[in-house]
Structure 1
Amino acid sequence: MTADKGMGAKANQFINADDGEDGPPNQATKLLDAVLEISPDLFHAHDGTAYISFTDNGHYKTMVIGDVRLEAWLRKSAFELFRKVVNTNVINEVQAYLEAFALTKGKQTDVFVRLGQNDGKLYLDLGSDDFTVIEVTQTGYKAVACPRQVKFRRPKGMKPLPLPEADGDLSELRRFINVSDEEWPLLLGWLVATFEPDGACLILLMIGQQGSAKTSGCEVLKNLIDPGVACLRVPPASQRDLSIAGKNSLVLGYDNVSRIQPWLSDALCRISTGAGSAVRQLYRDEDEVFFEFRRPLILNGITEFVTSPDLVDRAIAIEPPHLPKSARKDKKTFLSEFEEARPRLLGALLDAVSCALRRLSEVHLQDAPRMADAARWITAAEPALPIAPGVFLSAYESNQTGAADAALDFSKLGNAVIELMAGQNEWLGNSAELLDTIASDCSSETELQRAGWPKNPKALNSQMRRVAPTLESRGLKVVFGISDGNRKRLIRITSGTAPTVQPSESPIAEAVRSDGPDDPAGRPGPDTTSSIGQMALTDSDGWTFLGES
């Protein structure tokens, strides 16, 4: 909300003199008058955080009220006003008034990190000192001063992006990322989908051997669109750590993941779809801090670390092929070449984003996959991508089937159900009966847990709901809540013929479905290489990077 011109004159009504009574304006009042004279926007976000936006040295800035950077700006302003350093209480009083006004009189406004939107346009914050943003429309992109109606918050760890350059080609990205020809469309799809403004975000999984350049590939992707001080992180230890990281980055990247605990798997699913979360405020048992954001995710590891069907449904799994030692070079050269190419790559990516904005209303998918918004957005962008029309959907459906099969391999319950249904067409019973049937050799909860089974019928019901979509790809349909006479809340499992792959005559208009168990997902083995010459490099810490041979 913009402060009115008379607000500065009324500041003394809110900040009293040092003796607690109305009197001549004190330092806090005078400083507040000076702040309000520049007509700042005082507002709050949906989570209750108070913000101030103002023009400083010709640049429009947005800051959290209470942030150390706003405090530093107020101290600087006070020094220019009084020609001396003011007491901390003066700064605190001014911030207290600004916060109170933002929360009680200010409008609720969206605040963005790195990528924002307004009136059908996308805005990419370059993070530069002059606060330049890139405006992306249906007709292209251009650098502009940040509009007042678009509020960008800049976390401390944000690094700047270069100005994008025209006439780039995303094919050049293959110089820096080790990916097979079969999975190249998937990587491009994930990259352009990070700009999709409304739907759920795809999760990129890079699973490869040591020396496959998976870490450097993930770093290149994140640095292309959202560079930061902490490029790739270790997996979070708590919901609080994950929430804070998500609030301060556009893209979340996690390195060397070996196992994803159930709570983390559920949390990553929520971040992908934009569901909110709440954590207890530090030192206060009764208060909560709320987080609500939607973020693209990158995770890499050596082994198949994603076993939850929910997470698999939201993910694209890529297996970079192994690169020999003879194809490695130094890190300095690799990074120098990437920095030189980054403006062109960013420009080519923004061309694809503009294409998606222009064509999105024309694209309609029949039998759309799980992440339908992302698939539709990527399909709309395909004419500006270095792939043929329809290639992404075909690769994505194959990838989903292969990933689901891999997740099922780690599910003891899922495999037990498959074995149970091998000799029958239907099974009907409650959760307790199903548990007794598949774990007939266990007589106690302790034995069930030791054997890796759900510990009780309630836990089995929960796991069955998670694995049911994956079982459907094996021709098994699971229906919950069935009634049979006096028996209620039964589970019915039926066996049928799994659907076969039907190639689409119109790849743009119809998604290709592949639910059969015989699809190997099109993933390359260790000896599969791209048609483009590539080479990796390893630095002193053993990190592997990719260059051009």
Structure 2
Amino acid sequence: MADDDKTPAREIITDYAQEHFRYFRTPDGTVYAQKNGHPVARPIRSQGATGSHRQELMVGLFRDGRGVFNGSAIKEALDLIEALALSEGVQPVHIRVAPGFDGATWLDLGRDDGQSVRIHPTGWDITIPDPREVCWRRTQLTGELPLPAKDTDGKGVDLLMRLCNFANADTESLALAWLIGCLGPSVPVPAPFLTGPQGAGKSTGGRMLIRVVEGMSGDLRRAPKDEANLIAAVAAGWVTALDNLSHLTPDLADAMCCVVTGAEDVKRALFTDGDVYRTGYRRPLLLTGIDVGLIRPDLAERLLPLHLVRPKVRRTEAELWAEYEEILPVVLGSLLDLTVKVRAVKAETPTDLRMADFAHLCAQLDAATGLGALSAYRASLDDLNDDVIEGDLLAQTVLRHADTIAPGAAQRMTSTEWLHLLSGLYSGEELRPLPKGWPTTGKVLSDRLKRLQPTLAALGVLIDSGRTREGRYIEMACSPATPPHEQQAF
């Protein structure tokens, strides 16, 4: 055969690829390849260790007797495929949890055969999702889950709680509500913060919770040094668990707030001058530690304290995890049963809590089981407010001054006047020096009070700001519906 009659390698590869794979683009413009009939999709430009589309294309061509092709031919073919895919429809890809059709949600079991759990209003079943309904994206952080057991009669929940060292039933109900929330792709959930004395099994308890959703390969990690590393870890998995926290920098605390309630990161695309790469994320987050020191008010609203106690009987790691792995199918099956039951219940949404979706989930759990998760959640937020006040001398000083304001009355001054008043109140007659971190200008004071607004409002002190012809002002009032609080000690 003459050279002119030979089919170019790039055409052979392109024809084979379009015959065996479906190509589409995501809302951020990334082109993915999905093997026909399989729910897992891979970005065509990926070179990841979990297997790239280039590799599966090369293997398929070889095994089907089409030949072995060099890198330049495959690159030319993929360039054409990518260009063609940009004119196709848009479909998102999901990690671990995804919304489906008709009110259903999906849980990726991480299996090679693509079997997943479809959670629908009448129950749940194990099946392979239609690729046009759900496309899974997997990374090195995507572990394999066992096939969940059917007809568990709820005993899996009891087995899990028996292995964890939770302090009481209220803590167990909050942990259970969080696990159910992790199965909802559209429900932002607060970050559990497992606390307790040394030896209470905080790290072990954290692993047990995340492995219900992430499989036995799920593990805790050290806190990243900066926001960029945190976002990279969050974007590659579903549940992110940080172990043994002892201090939170302001930047890391702000990043955690974004992870819990959702945000988007925009960076310049590699090898370009004007293009950008978008990464949207909202993920369940879990923390462990004895104490992280000062908790910022905005982060406190997004935390879920789970208290643990030291066990009376110690067990070896090998024995503990062998039992856990054995009961994990039953635990997962019971959790899925309870999730279906909770989602079927109607409950009012509390309108006074920041994490309203999670509060509504707690109300549904209470209606379905009678556990009292919502009251436990409110009590945990009250404890966090107390922690914020105890760690913030400015908040304590504001509360001390608020005791002098009559209920229902208000006091209005400029930020500079407030700074002078509060500084003098803290220093007292003995002219005590102002502590490190005390506001130095009216603007700094105004910003600090804005962060403290929710915490102070929970104690009946209302902070507002505005502008008149004379200039800006800050107003402090005491809610008439809330009795005066007890004076905070310095």
Taking structure 1 as the reference length, the TM-score comes to 0.79
Quote the Cα distance in structure 1 between the aligned partners of 2:305 and 2:211: 20
Which amino acid counterpart does residue 210 of structure 2 have in structure 1? K
Cα distance change on mapping 1:492 and 1:482 into 2, 3 Å: farther
The offset of 1:383, in angstroms, is 5.6
Deviations 1:401-439 (A, max 9, x none): 111111121122211212233333443222222223323
Give 1:297's aligned residue.
285
Structure 1 residue 456 and structure 2 residue 441: aligned? Answer: yes
Quote the Cα distance in structure 2 between the aligned partners of 1:258 and 1:283: 39
Cα distance change on mapping 1:468 and 1:60 into 2, 3 Å: closer
Which amino acid counterpart does residue 28 of structure 2 have in structure 1? D
Is the contact made by 1:158 and 1:228 (CA closer than 8 Å) also made in structure 2? no
Identity score, percent? 27
3-state SS of 1:463 partner: helix
Give 1:65's aligned residue.
44
Correspondent of 2:138 among 124, 130, 154: 154
Alignment of 1:70-469 (within 5 A): 70-80=53-63, 84-102=67-85, 104-119=86-101, 120-148=103-131, 149-166=133-150, 167=152, 168-169=154-155, 170-181=157-168, 182-227=170-215, 229=217, 231-280=219-268, 288-305=276-293, 307-323=295-311, 327-359=313-345, 362-382=346-366, 387-388=369-370, 391-425=372-406, 426-440=410-424, 451-469=436-454
Is the contact made by 1:306 and 1:312 (CA closer than 8 Å) also made in structure 2? no
Is the contact made by 1:474 and 1:498 (CA closer than 8 Å) also made in structure 2? no
Deviations 1:433-483 (A, max 9, x none): 2223323599xxxxx997221343323222211101101122211111153
Correspondent of 1:41 among 10, 14, 22: 22
Is the contact made by 2:241 and 2:285 (CA closer than 8 Å) also made in structure 1? yes
The offset of 1:185, in angstroms, is 1.4
Deviations 1:490-529 (A, max 9, x none): 11011245638xxxxxxxxxxxxxx9779xxxxxxxxxxx
Give 1:533's aligned residue.
none
Is the contact made by 1:307 and 1:408 (CA closer than 8 Å) also made in structure 2? no
Is the contact made by 1:401 and 1:517 (CA closer than 8 Å) also made in structure 2? no
The offset of 1:287, in angstroms, is 5.4
3-state SS of 1:183 partner: helix
The offset of 1:144, in angstroms, is 0.4
Which amino acid counterpart does residue 341 of structure 1 have in structure 2? I
Quote the Cα distance in structure 1 between the aligned partners of 2:465 and 2:18: 60
The offset of 1:280, in angstroms, is 4.9
Quote the Cα distance in structure 1 between the aligned partners of 2:97 and 2:485: 38
- Report which stretch shifted further, 391-400 or 374-383: 374-383
Is the contact made by 1:432 and 1:456 (CA closer than 8 Å) also made in structure 2? yes
Is the contact made by 1:50 and 1:99 (CA closer than 8 Å) also made in structure 2? yes
Is the contact made by 1:157 and 1:228 (CA closer than 8 Å) also made in structure 2? no
Is the contact made by 1:482 and 1:492 (CA closer than 8 Å) also made in structure 2? no
Is the contact made by 1:137 and 1:357 (CA closer than 8 Å) also made in structure 2? no
Give 1:29's aligned residue.
11
The offset of 1:284, in angstroms, is 6.7
Is the contact made by 2:211 and 2:217 (CA closer than 8 Å) also made in structure 1? no
Which amino acid counterpart does residue 454 of structure 1 have in structure 2? P
Is the contact made by 1:128 and 1:160 (CA closer than 8 Å) also made in structure 2? yes
The offset of 1:143, in angstroms, is 0.5
Which amino acid counterpart does residue 149 of structure 2 have in structure 1? E
Cα distance change on mapping 1:310 and 1:130 into 2, 3 Å: same
Is the contact made by 1:62 and 1:151 (CA closer than 8 Å) also made in structure 2? yes
Quote the Cα distance in structure 2 between the aligned partners of 1:461 and 1:200: 29
3-state SS of 2:59 partner: helix
Cα distance change on mapping 1:185 and 1:488 into 2, 3 Å: same
Which amino acid counterpart does residue 99 of structure 1 have in structure 2? E
3-state SS of 2:137 partner: coil
Is the contact made by 1:474 and 1:517 (CA closer than 8 Å) also made in structure 2? no
3-state SS of 1:105 partner: coil
Quote the Cα distance in structure 1 between the aligned partners of 2:96 and 2:353: 28
Quote the Cα distance in structure 1 between the aligned partners of 2:295 and 2:316: 35
Quote the Cα distance in structure 2 between the aligned partners of 1:154 and 1:92: 23
Quote the Cα distance in structure 1 between the aligned partners of 2:216 and 2:441: 45
Is the contact made by 1:132 and 1:145 (CA closer than 8 Å) also made in structure 2? yes
3-state SS of 2:99 partner: strand
Quote the Cα distance in structure 2 between the aligned partners of 1:339 and 1:383: 31
Quote the Cα distance in structure 2 between the aligned partners of 1:420 and 1:250: 45
Cα distance change on mapping 1:60 and 1:398 into 2, 3 Å: closer
The offset of 1:147, in angstroms, is 1.5
Higher RCO, 1 vs 2 (CA within 8 Å, ≥6 residues apart): 1
Which amino acid counterpart does residue 164 of structure 1 have in structure 2? P
The offset of 1:352, in angstroms, is 1.5
- Report which stretch shifted further, 302-311 or 75-84: 75-84
Quote the Cα distance in structure 1 between the aligned partners of 2:467 and 2:202: 46
Taking structure 2 as the reference length, the TM-score comes to 0.88
3-state SS of 1:427 partner: strand
Quote the Cα distance in structure 2 between the aligned partners of 1:116 and 1:336: 30
Which amino acid counterpart does residue 131 of structure 1 have in structure 2? G
Is the contact made by 2:194 and 2:306 (CA closer than 8 Å) also made in structure 1? yes
Cα distance change on mapping 1:81 and 1:199 into 2, 3 Å: closer
- Report which stretch shifted further, 303-312 or 393-402: 303-312
Q: CA RMSD in A?
A: 2.7
The answer for unaligned runs of 5 or more in structure 1 is 1-18, 443-447, 501-514, 519-549
- Report which stretch shifted further, 41-50 or 227-236: 227-236
Correspondent of 2:466 among 472, 481, 488: 481
Which amino acid counterpart does residue 72 of structure 2 have in structure 1? N
The offset of 1:171, in angstroms, is 1.6
Correspondent of 2:32 among 51, 56, 74: 51
Give 1:526's aligned residue.
none
Is the contact made by 1:240 and 1:279 (CA closer than 8 Å) also made in structure 2? no
Which amino acid counterpart does residue 347 of structure 2 have in structure 1? V
Quote the Cα distance in structure 2 between the aligned partners of 1:478 and 1:460: 12
3-state SS of 1:89 partner: helix
Which amino acid counterpart does residue 85 of structure 1 have in structure 2? V
